[in-house]
Structures are given as C-alpha cells and as structure tokens.
C-alpha cells in the first residue's frame, strides 16, 4: 500500500512538473514572440534593417573597380585559390623587422633592417640603396607596381564577389572571408614599397602606393562586418604613417599635397564603423533566425561559438536543444537587437564618439552588475555581442590619424607657400574625441599635433612610456603627430 502511495505521489509530482514545464514553455514562447516583434518594429521605425545583404552596396562597374583587377578579382570567393602573386607576398611580412611606425615618436624609419630582410628573401642585395631595392622589389613582385599604377584611374573599390554571395544559409560565425588576410598582406607590401620610394626620392611612386593601399581600405569598409572594419582601419593607419614619412622627407609638391588631401577627404571611418555595426546587428539577428530553423536548434549556437560541428553535439548541448523553448531564442534575439540598436547604432548615428562611448560604458556596466542567472535572456548577448569598446578605440585612433594627416598636409601647403609654419590650423580640423579644434603647437622649426585620446585628458602632447599601447583602455597619453625639421 505504501509503495502504491509512493508511486502515485511520484506520478502526481511528475505530472505537476510536466504541467509547469508546458506552462513555462507556453509563456516563454508567447512573451518571446511579442518581445521580438516589438524589437523588430523598433528597428523598422528607426529606419534600420535586419537584412544583411541589403546593407552591401552593388558592385561598381568593372572598369572602375580597383578590386576587379588581377590578381584581386574573385578574391572574396572562398572557392577560389589566391593567385600565386598574392601568396608570394607572404615572405615580405614573415619575420619582418618592423620599425616602420613613425608618427607617435616622430622619427624617420630605419630602412637598413628591411633592406637586409628583403635580401635574405632573395630580393636585391643587403647593401642596396633604397632606389636599388625598390627596383629589385618591382622585379621580384611586379604585382605591386601594377596595382599601384592602376590606383589613380580605378577610384572605386569593392571586393568581388560581394561578401555572402554564394554562401547562402551560413551564419555570421560560419561566413568565410579569405580576402582579408590577403588584403592586409598586400597593403603592407604596397606601403613597404612606398617607404622605399620615399627614401629614394621618387614621390610619384610613393603616392600611387598610398592610393592603392587606401583602395584596399575602402574595399574593406564596403563590407558591413567588424573584422572588415578593423582590417580597413589598420591599412588606413599604415597609410597615414607613410604620409608622415613623405612630409618628413619634404619631397612633395603642392600638387602632390592636393592629391593626398582629396584622397583623405574620401574616407569616413565613423561612417564605416556605423556601417559595420549595422551589419553586425543584421548578421546576429539572421544567425538566430537560421538556428531556429535548423535541426540542432538553440544548441547550435553554442556549437558555432565553440567551433564544434552539429554532429558532434555534447550531452549538454543536446539537453539544451531538447528543453529550451523557441521563446528563449526569441527573447535573446530581442534583447540583442535592442542593445545593438540603443547602445551602439543610435548613439553612433546621433551623437558621434562622446555619446557612443557613454552608451557602451552603460552597457558594459549592466552586464557586469546584473546576475546572469536572474537574466537568462542576456546569456547569448554576452556570447555574441562583440567587444565594441575595443573596436571603437581602434577606429577612433585611426580616424584621429586621418585628421592629423589632413592638418599636416595643410601645414605643409602653408610652409611651401609662405616659407614658414602657420601659427594656427585652418578651421574645421577637429579632435574626434571632444569636437574641439585639433591641438597644435610650433616647436622650433617643427610642430606637434595632438588629440587628447580616449582618456579625455589633455597632456599637452606628451607621449607616455613605451609599455603603453595606443589603443589600450589603459593608455594615458595623447595621440601625437610630431614633425621636426630634418
């Protein structure tokens, strides 16, 4: 009798648990659907989109597209093998000596280690002059000269095919982007050629290399994902460093300066950053929508994040797939959409860097203070949302260099015309951090430009110790552009 009573009790308990679970699933699915619908309605109301492919511009005419040139044509197709001319550039940057960054310290690059490095790779001789090594580099890698010479005429740049084409059904985490590594490698090689050309006094070749590198940067900015933004930002920063070297050499004419001003005016990193953020919003939303339709369901996301194929699901992920209602993904997607929209896209769109920085700080504070168990719909957001603060610091430092380069070009134009440095900068060159005029001071026969950087403290153009990295959150100095007389 007691045994029968126990069995009945267990049966009733089991039935109660099943009933509660079914009630939980029904409520979760109902509220999740409503929350997701409201989030999507807000996206539409703000004029944004959750369609990733709609954010990618159509390809420019082939005759105008820098990236339609060989060996760049078809580079973004993961099924294509990169041209041997591109793969051969890997040796130029492999185990390279470095030391070409000049802006922050205000010192000209030492080319001797680079010439020796190239000689070790069978290009020229270790005692070659910059002009001799430039000729040897062109002979060994003619693709650099070919692309550089084509850049003034090919003013549009977009990788072919458009990102995502031919990869239907793949999520953001599965998207293959082989062209970024090749673009970065090519851009660095072009700017090495630029450095040799500057040292050899060959301004025209140097300018074309800068233009070619900026075309690659622009092509990256066309694609609305953060990794593309960061690659393009890196290429742009290296190009700004070569502009510093060109101005330091004082071999540019007014016509050369005007050409560079025009090239830099075409770039808009804050707009590119907003474009990438919009792409991240759409891609994450579409990723979750895809997972709802897949057999592995919600557990598939954890497999994607861990790089684990669906057929190798662990017991934990199988359990999650079995018990988590679709409403959980709906709630999670709604939360991610709202955070991407309200904490990232709208602040960037409406208030620039100051408002974006404050919104990201509030978002990070929310995640740090709220208990994960009490806010389960934030779990996927913690996994999927990028480290936006780090991305923003990278982009804003690159944009600062672009503005400083524009200021430096204006200063050099004044010096060529008047034979002296200006007492102040022309109007309109602002510090992206606080919107005030870029700081400028004449020092002897040279000058210094500086931004207050992301700590928002004006250190009068001081550079901190070498152990501090420019883009780290702990960086305490200013972002400095120092150009002394030769």
Q: How many domains does the chain have?
A: 2
Can you list the pairs that 188-192 forms with residues at least 24 positions away whose Cβ atoms lie under 8 Å?
188/92, 188/93, 188/238, 189/89, 189/92, 189/93, 189/141, 189/144, 190/144, 190/147, 190/148, 190/216, 191/100, 191/238, 191/239, 191/241, 191/242, 192/92, 192/100, 192/114, 192/137
Give the residue among 281, 263, 277 at the shortest CA–CA distance from 230: 277
Nearest of 256, 274, 210, 203 to residue 236 by alpha carbon: 210
Please compute the mean of the pLDDT values over residues 459-485 and round it to a whole number.
78
| Final residue of a structural domain among 267, 289, 319 | 267
Residue 215, pLDDT > 70, answer: yes
The pLDDT value given to residue 102: 73
Q: For residue 486, what pLDDT band results from cuts at 50, 70 and 90?
A: low
**Residue 316 reports pLDDT greater than 80:** no
Residues 405-417 have pLDDT tens digits of 999 999 999 999 9
| More confident: 14 or 31 | 31
User: Worst-scoring range by mean pLDDT, 28-32, 367-371, 447-451?
Assistant: 367-371
Residue 370 has pLDDT above 60, yes or no: yes
| pLDDT per residue as tens digits for the range 325-339 | 788 888 889 999 999
Strand 479-483's sheet: what is its strand order? 439-443, 446-451, 479-483
Q: What is the pTM of this model?
A: 0.89
pLDDT for residue 357 is more than 50 = yes
With a CB cutoff of 8 Å and minimum separation 6, the contacts of 151 are 66, 208, 211, 212, 214, 215
404 and 263: one domain? no
The number of residues making up the chain comes to 486
- At 461 the pLDDT is 82
480 assigned to some structural domain: yes
Residue with tokens 């928002």: 456
The confidence score (pLDDT) of residue 301 equals: 57
Q: Is residue 457 part of a domain?
A: yes
171 or 250: whose pLDDT is higher?
A: 250
pLDDT at 238 over 70: yes
State how far the Cα of 479 lies from the Cα of 393, in Å rounded to an integer: 12
User: Which tens digit of pLDDT belongs to each residue from 127-154?
Assistant: 999 999 999 999 999 999 999 999 999 9
Nearest to 283 by CA among 392, 175, 158: 175
Residue 438 within any structural domain of the chain = yes
123 falls within a domain: yes
Per-residue model confidence (pLDDT) at position 49:
94
| CA pair distance 212, 198, nearest whole angstrom | 15
Provide the pLDDT for residue 273.
Answer: 95
- Write down the pLDDT at residue 29: 82
Residue 11 lies in a domain: no
Q: pLDDT tens across 59-99, in order?
A: 999 999 999 999 999 999 888 888 889 998 988 888 888 77
Single residue among 235, 251, 267 that ends a domain in this structure:
267
Q: 25, 327 in Cβ contact below 8 A?
A: yes
Cβ(340)–Cβ(385) below 8 Å: yes
- pLDDT digit string (tens) for 94-114? 888 877 777 866 788 889 999
The conformation of residue 80, written as its DSSP 8-state character, comes to S
Q: Is residue 7 part of a domain?
A: no
Assigned domain for 223 exists:
yes
Range of the structural domain that residue 234 is part of: 57-162+177-267
Q: Which of 248, 267, 286 is the last residue of a domain?
A: 267
Q: Is 428 left (phi over 0), alpha (psi -120 to 50) or beta?
A: left
Residue 243 and residue 97 share a domain: yes
Question: Is 195 part of a structural domain of the chain?
Answer: yes
């Amino acid at each position: 009798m007691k045994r029968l009573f126990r069995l009945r009790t267990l049966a009733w308990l089991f039935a109660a648990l099943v009933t509660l679970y079914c009630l939980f699933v029904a409520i979760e699915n109902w509220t999740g659907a409503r929350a997701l619908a409201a989030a999507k309605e807000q996206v539409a109301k703000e004029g944004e989109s959750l369609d990733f492919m709609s954010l990618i511009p159509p390809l420019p005419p082939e005759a105008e597209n820098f990236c339609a040139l060989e060996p760049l044509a078809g580079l973004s197709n993961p099924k294509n093998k990169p041209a041997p001319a591109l793969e051969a550039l890997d040796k130029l940057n492999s185990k390279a000596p470095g030391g070409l960054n000049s802006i922050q310290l205000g010192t000209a690059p030492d080319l001797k280690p680079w010439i020796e490095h190239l000689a070790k790779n069978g290009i020229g001789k270790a005692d070659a002059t910059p002009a001799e090594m430039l000729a040897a580099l062109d002979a060994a890698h003619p693709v650099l000269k070919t692309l550089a010479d084509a850049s003034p005429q090919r003013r549009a740049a977009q990788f072919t095919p458009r990102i995502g084409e031919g990869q239907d059904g793949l999520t953001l985490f599965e998207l293959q982007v082989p062209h970024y590594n090749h673009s970065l490698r090519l851009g660095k090689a072009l700017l090495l050629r630029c450095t040799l050309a500057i040292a050899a006094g060959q301004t025209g070749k140097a300018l074309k290399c800068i233009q070619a590198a900026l075309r690659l940067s622009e092509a990256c900015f066309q694609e609305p994902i953060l990794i593309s933004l960061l690659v393009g930002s890196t290429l742009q920063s290296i190009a700004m460093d070569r502009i510093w070297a060109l101005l330091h050499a004082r071999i540019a004419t007014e016509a050369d300066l005007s050409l560079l001003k025009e090239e830099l005016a075409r770039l808009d990193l804050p707009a590119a950053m907003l474009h990438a953020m919009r792409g991240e919003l759409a891609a994450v939303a579409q990723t979750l929508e895809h997972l709802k339709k897949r057999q592995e369901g919600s557990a598939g996301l954890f497999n994607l994040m861990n790089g684990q194929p669906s057929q190798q699901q662990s017991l934990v992920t199988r359990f999650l797939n079995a018990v988590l209602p679709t409403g959980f993904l709906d709630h999670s997607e709604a939360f991610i959409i709202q955070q991407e929209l309200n904490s990232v896209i709208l602040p960037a769109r409406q208030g620039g860097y100051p408002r974006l920085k404050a919104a990201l700080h509030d978002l990070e504070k929310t995640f740090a203070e709220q208990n994960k168990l009490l806010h389960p719909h934030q779990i996927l957001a913690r996994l999927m949302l990028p480290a936006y603060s780090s991305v923003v610091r990278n982009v804003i430092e690159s944009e600062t260099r672009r503005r400083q380069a524009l200021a430096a070009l204006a200063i050099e134009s004044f010096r060529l015309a008047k034979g002296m440095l200006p007492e102040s900068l022309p109007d309109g060159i602002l510090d992206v951090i606080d919107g005030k005029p870029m700081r400028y001071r004449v020092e002897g026969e040279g000058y210094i430009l500086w931004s207050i950087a992301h700590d928002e403290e004006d250190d009068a153009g001081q550079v901190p110790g070498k152990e501090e990295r420019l883009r780290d959150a702990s960086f305490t100095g200013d972002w400095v552009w120092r150009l002394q007389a030769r």
